[in-house]
Every structure is written in structure tokens, then in C-alpha cells.
Amino acid sequence: MPTIAVGSDHAAIAMRQAIATHLAARGIDVIEVGPGVGEKSDYPDQAHLVASAVVRHEADLGILCCGTGIGMSIAANKVAGIRAALVHDPVTARLAAQHNAANVLCLGGRLLAEDYANELVDHWLDTAFEARHQGRLDKIAALESSGA
Ligand code: RB5
């Protein structure tokens, strides 16, 4: 049974909750982090929690939602080993898995309807990585230790 960590800031609470419900309905174990309704939070805090859960193997994958998904993707990609992809449509959701082996999916809670976000989550989860792209992932990993 896979485990997925799902986080949001205050701008995407409804999306986070909808995704957590959707994942549970798929039989996926969910770790949910983020503020409650009426609370504020800073997206780097949830990005850190979710990214850390993934690289420590407490979760197999992560999903992060903020207003645009931009801040979450920038923050999560600061954590070594994270390949966070901001997606907006089925094509980018599938390619994030197929080409990039994205281990964190980022979504914009102020841009997408919750049902549509769940469709994008399904596209990402149901698409396999193509091994011919592995060399590029290795080059990304090398950037993490290049210091430049
Ligand atoms: C919060 O107002 C907003 O800046 C945040 O949710 C996100 O969109 C940042 O990228």
C-alpha cells in the first residue's frame, strides 16, 4: 500500500482535503499536513514537511498545493532528492511521471477546481516512468552536489 504525503498552505486547504479524500478512496495511505480553515501558513513550511517525508521514505510520493503551486514547487525542489513538478493539465501531469519521475506533484489551489486536480493526480499516479530518461535524472542529481 503506497503512502502519499499531502500538504497545503492556507490558499489551498479545500484542494488538499479533496485530494486526501480522493487518495484514501483509492486505497492509498495519506499523511496530511497543513493549516486548518481560518489559519494562515507559509508554504515553505509544508513543502519542507512533505519533501522530508519523501526523502526519508516515510512517504512514497508527495503532493503540495498552494495558491499557484509555484511557491511549493520552488521550495520543494530545494530538498535534495526531490523532483517536484508543477502541472496544470493532463499532459503535464502524465509527462511529470513519464519523463521526470516527479516524486512531488504541485498544484494551484486558486487556479484549478478540486475535481480537476484529482483527475491530474490520477494521471500522474497512473503513468509509468520511461527508463530511457534515467540519464537526465542522473544529471539533475549531479546538480545537487555540484555547488555551482
Ligand atoms: C499565498 O498568498 C500565496 O502566495 C501562496 O499560496 C502561493 O501561491 C505561492 O506561490
Residue 52: C-alpha distances to residues 9, 60, 119 (Å)? 16, 11, 25
The per-residue pLDDT for 106 is: 99
The per-residue pLDDT for 139 is: 97
The secondary structure of 106-138 as a DSSP string is EEETTTS-HHHHHHHHHHHHT-PPPGGGHHHHH
Task: Establish whether residue 80 lines the binding site of ligand 1, counting it when its CB lies within 6 angstroms of any ligand atom.
Answer: no
Give catalytic status of residue 66 as yes or no. yes
The total domain count for the chain is 1
Strand residue runs (E) in the chain: 3-8, 29-33, 61-66, 84-86, 104-108
Give catalytic status of residue 57 as yes or no. no
Q: Which of 22, 65, 66, 123 is catalytic?
A: 66
**In this structure, which residue's CA is closest to atom 7 in ligand 1?**
67
The per-residue pLDDT for 4 is: 99
CATH code of residue 15: 3.40.1400.10
Atom of ligand 1 nearest to the CA of 71: 10
- Model confidence pLDDT, tens digit, residues 34-73: 999 999 999 999 999 999 999 999 999 999 999 999 999 9
Task: Establish whether residue 86 lines the binding site of ligand 1, counting it when its CB lies within 6 angstroms of any ligand atom.
Answer: no
| pLDDT beneath 50: ranges in the chain | none
The per-residue pLDDT for 146 is: 87
Question: Cβ distance 82 to 50 under 8 Å?
Answer: no
- With cell 540519464, the residue in question is 135
